[in-house]
Structure 1
Amino acid sequence: MKTAGIIFGSIIVSFAFNLFLIPHGIMSSGISGLSIIFSMLTSINAGIYNFLLNFPLLIIGYLKLGRKFSFYTILSVLTISVTLYIIPVFQLAEDPILSSIFGGAIVGLGIGIIFRSSGSSGGFDIIGMLLARRKDFPMGTLLFAMNSIVILLSGFLFSWDAALNTLVSIFVLGKVIDKVHTHHVKLTLMIITRKGEEVKQHLLKNVYRGVTVIHSVGGYSNENSNVIITVISRYELTEVKSLIEEIDPEAFVNITETLEVMGLFHRKQH
């Protein structure tokens, strides 16, 4: 399912670029935007710049975010590259402002789906995910801040009209990503299990969160068990549920949305 989500989200991104943004000369966000700018300045193919700029970030993603994340990111980058070549560039709407808004929203939808499938479209997305894990900022806000570099460069080097349209597109993109990805929404999990130690170790090994373990006794069965309490971000829920089922499919899990978190949300790394 995650692979399908990565491919589907990537195709959505390509459609938005070729039907709404590129026909009006609106710069792409992130590394893609920088690649286009460098290509226009040097006449070297943008694909070469895209690879060179993404390569070190993919290495960082592999080291910090895991093999699965790196695989899904590479899959997304390849899918976007192929579909951008296949899908014809066609001006679907004549108004550049409307194209900026709808193009940004559709790109945000696609990238949000990619994020929820545990991947990224490369470039600034990798930096955004690393910072969001560390500092707990909304993903879309982080990407918007970093993409300001693309806006300023396109304005100084080319046209401020294109820069302002790019600004509108990236702003809408960031808001839609936050709605779809919801990285900053917190959930509290109360896990009741007879395999408390195994579940605890499995979660600590695979999730960047701390846990609290409470010894308990079943009211009906009178058997010893453990209550494990942890707070996670919403996008981690699918992964955490799978981790729990791997150890104890019979565990009772109560999931509630958390209004606010005080204190240390991330587990310290040693």
Structure 2
Amino acid sequence: MADPVQSKSPVGIWASSAEKHSLIEDVQAVVAGSMLAALGVTMLSAAHLLIGGTAGLGFLLRYSMGVSFGTAFFILNLPFYWLAYKRLGLAFTVKTFAAVGTTSLLTGLLPQLIVIDRIDPIAAAMFGGLLIGCGMLILFRHRASLGGFGILALYLQDRFGWRAGFVQLGLDCVVLALSFFVASPLVIVSSILAAVTLNLTLAINHRTDRYIVR
């Protein structure tokens, strides 16, 4: 009897194996990862917290200049697509572009669908960071990301074996350092907790030697 793990569906877009995800699986992952990330961003935003990476830069622009987070997040990611294409391939770039676009759209829509009147900053940091980390984990396992520093972190992991979560944590610290200019001490501490929660989720759960499906 054939091993069900190795079998493939006769329908192309459903065809998957132990080594490769199907098109439908990739689409589902991009949508699910983006939904989780957008919900996490909504929780952080409700508590006026920040996060690292291009998302953190988007928050800084929103709090300091009133720019829409979704718009800032989408534009800030544009320069990273060339690196994604050159180093990680067309498929990765297309899926990442779709994930960033979907997340940007959802972060604009969710506040109209989910109204958070009050949320403790520490709770927002832990739950928001975890949600974004889980969303990114889904995307990473389907060879996609939320762009920006995530692209760089994945490239360095593939090239040098550096843990993507730890690489991104270091880069996030630089972004969070900028928050001292626009945030209170409680917001800064809570934002650091969110970044640590997010990146520990990635560092502990995403290892290419354990998860090899493309």
Smaller-chain TM-score range?
A: 0.7 to 0.9
2:12 aligned residue: none
Asked if residue 57 in structure 1 is aligned to residue 32 in structure 2, the reply is no
Aligned with 1:110 (options 125, 130, 135): 135
Deviates more, 1:154-163 or 1:77-86: 154-163
Q: What is the rounded CA distance, in whole Å, between the counterparts of 1:180 and 1:65 in structure 2?
A: 21
- Residues 112 and 178, structure 1, Cα contact 8 Å, conserved in 2: no
2:33–2:135 contact (8 Å) kept in structure 1: yes
Distance 2:71 2:133 in 1: 25
From the CA coordinates, give the structure whose radius of gyration is larger.
Answer: 1
Q: Distance in 2 between matches of 1:178 and 1:70?
A: 22
TM-score by length of 1: 0.64
Name which of structure 1's ranges 36-45 and 24-33 shifts more when overlaid on structure 2.
Answer: 36-45
Cα–Cα, structure 1 residues 136 and 108, in superposed 2: closer, same or farther, change >3 Å?
same
Segments of 5+ residues of structure 1 without an aligned counterpart are: 187-233, 240-270
Partner of 2:213: 238
SS in 1 for 2:213: helix
Q: Which structure 2 segments of 5+ residues have no match?
A: 1-24
Query: Larger helix proportion, structure 1 or 2?
Result: 2
Of 193, 198, 213, 1:168 maps to 193
Distance 1:47 1:16 in 2: 13
Counterpart amino acid of 1:81? S
Give aligned-pair identity as a percent. 26
Q: How many residues align?
A: 188
Q: After superposition, where does 1:1-270 map in structure 2 within 5 Å?
A: 1-18=25-42, 20-88=43-111, 89-91=114-116, 94-183=119-208, 186=209, 234-235=210-211, 237-239=212-214
The 10-residue stretch of structure 1 (56-65 or 157-166) with the greater mean CA deviation from structure 2:
157-166
Distance in 1 of aligned mates of 2:71 and 2:103: 15
1:39 and 1:45 in contact (8 A); partners too: yes
Bigger strand share: 1
TM-score w.r.t. length of structure 2: 0.80
